[in-house]
Chains A and B, each alone.
Chain A
Amino acid sequence: MSKKPGSRLMKWVVLIVTVLSLALTVWALFAGTGNYFVLNPKGPIAEGQRDLIVISTILTAIVIVPTTIIAFIIVWRYRDKPGRKAKYDPDFSHNNLLETIWWGIPIVVIFILAVVTVRYTYALEPSVALKSEKEPVTIQVVSLDWKWVFFNPEENIATVNSVTIPEDTPIRFELTSDAPMNSFWVPQLAGQIYTMSGMAMTLYMQADHPGTYFGSGANFSGEHFADMRFDVNAVSDADYRAWVDKVKSESKPMTMETYQSLAIPGTADKQSFSSFPDNLFQQLVTKYLPGGLADNSNRATHTTPQTEINEKESEQGQSDMGTDTKSNNEHDGLGTDTQEGSNN
């Protein structure tokens, strides 16, 4: 290799840029107040997933780390330099033993990882009920443009962009969408699951400790997707009862009209409702079936959305209003798949 002009300047610049970048990264690591949610689970499902992440990282590291070290050694040792003494063997291009080793090691590691993965896949299957002495609490979730609506059928209350659950109790989330597909993710409690129109998905999770947990929509669903955040408040049983009573006594009921105006594309603040229309969730799941909400014959009951609720629309959201809901109603909504995730 010949001496390149300007290579000293380059060395300095590269060094300085690298050091500055590293310094910036170190600063960011300590300045950032972000919580590594996935690595700080607060419920059994998320804990299982964290464990699996750790196990799989270690297993892959068994191969990756030595390989990286070997790579550096080889590249360093055999670089072309005058007077290089390392062995040079241009015809060394085949060796059964070596090749068997590096077909063999990945096969063994992947085999172990596959066994672990399959066991966890069944253990953490989101639609399987959690083992607990307590009866699970069912919460129904609907993703809208661009907000989350939670129905609590046992207490007959509803909330928007926030859900309160009792701690140490399995929660059975039933999820659907009345808008483009989204994904329901509370990283500290459980991994995500898609919400899709025309079908109900099931996701079990449980919070082992009281607290407010970060939740968000994870699958892109249009303009204000970034605003689809929600809180999961896990509280003690007593606080849970008190909260339910408070909502019951202090909030307004959700009527069909209220829901219709919530469904208009736009963002929304946290809200709560003392009741919600009977079977609304099932009606939304079967919306596009013959006779469903989107069908012509049912239309008369919900063609006049009220806009007086305490929804704070962003300006951009307003501009989209109307067009989407209109097209919803104009279609002769008919049947769609209602089995849970029967895509395969």
Chain B
Amino acid sequence: MAQAVSQNDHGHHDHGHHDPQELKMLGFWIFLITDVVLFGTLFATYVVLHNNTAGGPSAHEVFEMPGVIAETFILLTSSFTSGLAVLAMNKGNVKQLIAWLIVTFILGAAFIGLEVQEFVHLVHEGFNFGTSAFSTSFFTLVGTHGLHVSMGLGWMILLIIQLSRRGINDVTRGKVNVISLYWHFLDAVWIFLLSVVYLMGVM
């Protein structure tokens, strides 16, 4: 019967074959939507709780902007270099692609390093996870972003290994596109973090 249904086949359809990279890209976009909702929930929590300092320090007492601004520039630059990596890939230049990915990785690692340093500093100042609802929601929100970046770093290492082994093919091309998208997304989240948490905190 299926054959009969398909009698007026339009002919252009390659037997049940869907481009797996196309599926993955759409799937990843939808995943990013869920991640937006995830961060949105954390932001909402932070906004509700950020004044509940419970006698502990408040935002403008603990945030130190120079470090945060440095983090911002480093992350923005890494987003740019990840874009350069994609351009290199589109030109078919594996070496350049890997080089830009390594630069992106180093910048991302530097970002994480600065963030860890900031957290350690805060804890030494007596502002730790359990100090108040404000501190708990702050560490959770910023920490979740940091965790996302760290996951991205691990993923990038795997990708660099795969690229050096297999070069650019359909599969690795898809993966580079996806990680680049992910990286830009984390960049955008950071901009919101910077505005909502840090800038509105010190103002």
Q: Which residues of A contact B (CB under 8 A)?
A: 290, 334-337
Contacts and interface: CB of A to CB of B under 8 A. Distances in A.
14 contacts: A290-B54, A290-B55, A334-B54, A334-B55, A334-B56, A334-B132, A335-B52, A335-B53, A335-B54, A335-B55, A335-B132, A336-B52, A336-B54, A337-B52
A44 to B, nearest CB: 36
A290 B58 CA distance: 14
Contacts of B132: 334-335
Interface in B42-62: 52-56
A268 B78 CA distance: 65
Chain A interface, DSSP helix/strand/loop, else mixed: loop
B51 to A, nearest CB: 9
A334 B56 CA distance: 9
Chain B interface residue number, banded? under 10
B138 to A, nearest CB: 16
Nearest to B55: A290
A337 B134 CA distance: 13
Interface of B: 52-56, 132
A150 B54 CA distance: 29
B126 to A, nearest CB: 13
Contacts of B53: 335
A334 B49 CA distance: 14
Nearest to B132: A334
Contacts of B55: 290, 334-335
A313 B55 CA distance: 37
Give the top 3 A-B pairs by smallest Cβ distance, nearest first. A334-B54, A290-B55, A335-B54
A290 B54 CA distance: 6
B136 to A, nearest CB: 12
Contacts of A336: 52, 54
A336 B55 CA distance: 10
Nearest to A333: B54
Nearest to A291: B55
B16 to A, nearest CB: 30
A128 B54 CA distance: 31
Contacts of B56: 334
Q: Which of A290, A334, A336, A337 gathers the greatest number of chain B CB atoms within 10 Å?
A: A334
Nearest to B53: A335
B61 to A, nearest CB: 15
Nearest to A288: B54
Contacts of A290: 54-55
A334 B134 CA distance: 12
A336 B132 CA distance: 10
A324 B56 CA distance: 25
A335 B55 CA distance: 7
A336 B134 CA distance: 11
A335 B132 CA distance: 9
A36 to B, nearest CB: 40
Q: Which of A290, A335, A336, A337 gathers the greatest number of chain B CB atoms within 10 Å?
A: A335
B35 to A, nearest CB: 26
B185 to A, nearest CB: 30
Nearest to A337: B52
A239 to B, nearest CB: 46
A336 B52 CA distance: 7
Contacts of B54: 290, 334-336
Q: Which of B52, B53, B54, B132 gathers the greatest number of chain A CB atoms within 10 Å?
A: B54
